[in-house]
Amino acid sequence: MAGEPAPARERPRADYRTDLITVLLGTWFSAGLFLDAWAHSNVPELESFFTPWHAVFYSGFAATGAWILWILWRNYRPGMRLMDLRDVIPVGYGPAVFALPVFATAGAGDYLWHTLIGIEQGIDILFSPTHLALITSMILILTTPLRTAWSNRSMVAPTFRQFLPAALSLAFTASLVLLFAGYADATVFDSAQITKAFSFKKSDGGSGLAENLAASIMVTNLIMVVPLLLISRRFRVPFGVATLLSVVVMALGTAVANYTNISTAIGFIVAGVVIDVLMLKLRPSEERLKEYRIFGAAAAFVIWVAFFASAGIDQGVMPTITEMWTGAPIVAALHGLLMAVVLVPTARR
């Protein structure tokens, strides 16, 4: 009818197969980054940008970028006006489309940076501006399947298979965040280092490695627990997601640590299974606020009890300062509770 506005066209939505391919290409992408991080830390006199590890990393980006551009081309219709081009981008894919040229520019900048300034091999890797631009754009790309699931209002209680692309997306993102917090990453400590760190003379007050481990536990705790609290707000999370998160984080983390922290990895994965059981029993959500907060505290507590238990079993002895290894899980639990309160301050009305 003349005078009536034309009905708004719905943006296209990516289907399950599209999101799964996106996240699997992201696996290639992420594995390349972790290989490169391993090389920076373990290959002496690394003085070239053109390495096999960079080849894996940038070829993963090229494949992921080509796939996303193919998705846009698939949705393009002849005759579309410039203002309609937004309609070729599936819901949730907008930030990834923005991130592709940012990543390409940062990659070129990284080449110039390494050529002019040299190759980083220490903590400076984690503060290089070009590396920070690369990791930020990577996270925008890798979180695409999670955004697709989040925007699907009909997805409330997905099965593990239905949630798999979003769960992998979340796990790889947590791994990348932890990688760039490597100076405070407790997952790379091996059992001997854990025992040694919290075995000191009380008259010394604890310093050096003890303070490093204590700070690392608190930072790592937030990176591991907040993603679970986040998705629990929106979904009834299927059994297995917490375990998957632990497996992905530790599979990539142990590689960077040169496989010296296997017992620590086992502890995190066992904790992931227990957290899945907690999630199944408590069913934390915005509507079940008490259970949500209990889950935040309990999940954090479980992670660090398993952390110290795996170290103690592997070494055959616990750290000598009892207050440290018994108190650290309680402090982590309080942080988990605090995060639950911050993420959902009041019950949904």
The single residue listed with the structure tokens 């993420």 is 343
Q: How far apart are the C-alpha atoms of 79 and 142, rounded to whole Å?
A: 31
Domain boundaries defined on the chain: 12-152, 155-348
> Tokens for 198?
């919290």
Q: What is the pLDDT of residues 243-298, one digit of tens each?
A: 999 999 998 888 777 788 899 999 999 999 999 999 999 999 999 999 999 999 99
The single residue listed with the structure tokens 């708004």 is 8
DSSP label of 183:
G
Rounded mean pLDDT, 136-155: 93
pLDDT of 29 > 50? The answer is yes
pLDDT of 46 > 70? The answer is no
The average confidence (pLDDT) of the chain is 89
Q: How far apart are the C-alpha atoms of 15 and 11, rounded to whole Å?
A: 13
Q: How far apart are the C-alpha atoms of 87 and 83, rounded to whole Å?
A: 9
pLDDT value of residue 1? 46
The number of C-alpha atoms within 13 Å of 46 and in the hemisphere containing its C-beta is: 21
Q: How far apart are the C-alpha atoms of 115 and 129, rounded to whole Å?
A: 14
Q: What is the pLDDT of residues 290-325, one digit of tens each?
A: 999 999 999 999 999 999 999 999 999 999 999 999
Tell which wins on pLDDT, 171 or 6: 171
Contacts of 77 (CB under 8 A, 6+ apart): none
146 pLDDT band (50/70/90 cuts)?
Answer: very high
